[in-house]
Chains A and B, each alone.
Chain A
Amino acid sequence: MESNGVKRKIVLFILGFIVWCLLVWVPDWQHLVVGVFVAGMIALLVGDLFIKKPGKLKHPHRYRYFIFQYVPTFLWECIKANIDVAYRVVHPNLPINPGIVKVKTTLTSDTALTFLANSITLTPGTMSVDIDKDKGVLYIHWINVKDKDVKGATKDIVEKFEHILAKVFE
């Protein structure tokens, strides 16, 4: 457990240091020294909140799925979402049919659920309102409700991301 905590802090330190280097580009040694202190402080303070199981970061196939499956799917859905919303907004009759539906998910880890909720918010006409982690339930505001049933809504909203995220984060 103790080494796990140290590993988490090291992962966060490296991430913070990379972000710092990009922020102060072009890095010289003064920036790098300050960066070590800043990243170290952040790692010490919030290292416990960040990643629960650092061992997962070691698997290369997770990155592969993330870059080649999640990112393209997400970008495509995101662009579709924007065209859809733009169309609804510009249309003179405002063709909306809003409501809050309930969907089920099989994901359990915090990171996966966060990514799922964020993806849902940024994709066509759906926005996550609340999440119940114990029951595995998300409440989704849908701008154009096609299916009031839990199963149907789950199929329409969650499934296209769920199997990819399960491979990446679970």
Chain B
Amino acid sequence: MSNIIDIVGLVFIGIGLAFDFFGCLGLVRLPDVYNRLQAATKSVTLGTCSILFGTFLIVGFTAAGFKCLLCMMFLLLTAPVAAHAVARGAHRAGVKLWDKSVIDKYAEDKEGEI
């Protein structure tokens, strides 16, 4: 029985590693700050949570297991806030969107306010 749980945990860790890899690939390939943040927050959040959850399944309800669960919770709560802060700061500091971006409602609304 514990063998099966170990295997499921390893599968979760594998999925997490794959998503983390895609996140990093996105960080390199995508064109501007905002798109890169998208890749960084989404993929890396789910990827890291998946790794932590896999670890939790393997170690069970021990000291390390509870810390894994807490880390997942804090990561889910704080990663989007950090991305939001970076994006807002970048926009306010005048970082332009990618040339082929379709629309920028934020700049239209904020014009003349800063």
Give chain B's interface residues, CB within 8 Å of chain A: 19, 22-23, 25-26, 29-32, 34-35, 37-39, 41-43, 45-47, 62-63, 66-67, 69-70, 76-77, 79-81, 83-84, 87-88, 91, 97-98, 100-107, 109
Partner of B80, one of A89, A122, A143, A145: A122
Contact with B along A18-33 (1 / 0, CB 8 A): 0100110110000000
Q: A117 to B81: give the CA distance in the assembly, Å.
A: 8
B45 — nearest CB in chain A belongs to which residue? A122
Residues of B within 8 A of A82 (CB): 19, 22, 42-43, 46-47
- Do B25 and A141 have beta carbons less than 8 Å apart? no
Tell me which of B30, B42, B66 has the highest count of chain A C-beta atoms within 10 A of its own C-beta. Answer: B42
**In the complex, how many angstroms separate the beta carbon of B45 from the nearest chain A beta carbon?**
6
- Known: A26-B63, A79-B46. Is A99-B91 also a contact (CB below 8 A)? no
A168 at interface, CB cutoff 8 A: no
- Do B34 and A94 have beta carbons less than 8 Å apart? no
Residues of A within 8 A of B107 (CB): 100
Partner of A22, one of B22, B43, B70: B70
- Known: A98-B34, A98-B101, A99-B102. Is A128-B84 also a contact (CB below 8 A)? yes
Q: A86 to B81: give the CA distance in the assembly, Å.
A: 22
Contact with B along A81-125 (1 / 0, CB 8 A): 110011011100010111111100000000000000110011001
- Do B106 and A130 have beta carbons less than 8 Å apart? yes
Interface residues of B, dominant DSSP = helix
A66 at interface, CB cutoff 8 A: no
Give chain A's interface residues, CB within 8 Å of chain B: 19, 22-23, 25-26, 78-79, 81-82, 85-86, 88-90, 94, 96-102, 117-118, 121-122, 125, 127-130, 139, 141, 143, 145, 148
Residues of A within 8 A of B63 (CB): 25-26
- Do A89 and B34 have beta carbons less than 8 Å apart? no
Q: A102 to B106: give the CA distance in the assembly, Å.
A: 7
- Do A127 and B104 have beta carbons less than 8 Å apart? no
Beyond contacts A118-B80, A121-B41: 9 other A-B pairs, Cβ-Cβ < 8 A, are A22-B67, A23-B67, A86-B22, A99-B102, A102-B105, A121-B42, A122-B41, A122-B76, A145-B103
- Do B91 and A130 have beta carbons less than 8 Å apart? yes
- Do B102 and A19 have beta carbons less than 8 Å apart? no
- Known: A22-B70, A25-B63. Is A125-B104 also a contact (CB below 8 A)? no
Residues of B within 8 A of A143 (CB): 35, 38
**In the complex, how many angstroms separate the beta carbon of B96 from the nearest chain A beta carbon?**
12
Q: A108 to B7: give the CA distance in the assembly, Å.
A: 45
- Known: A86-B22, A121-B80. Is A148-B41 also a contact (CB below 8 A)? no
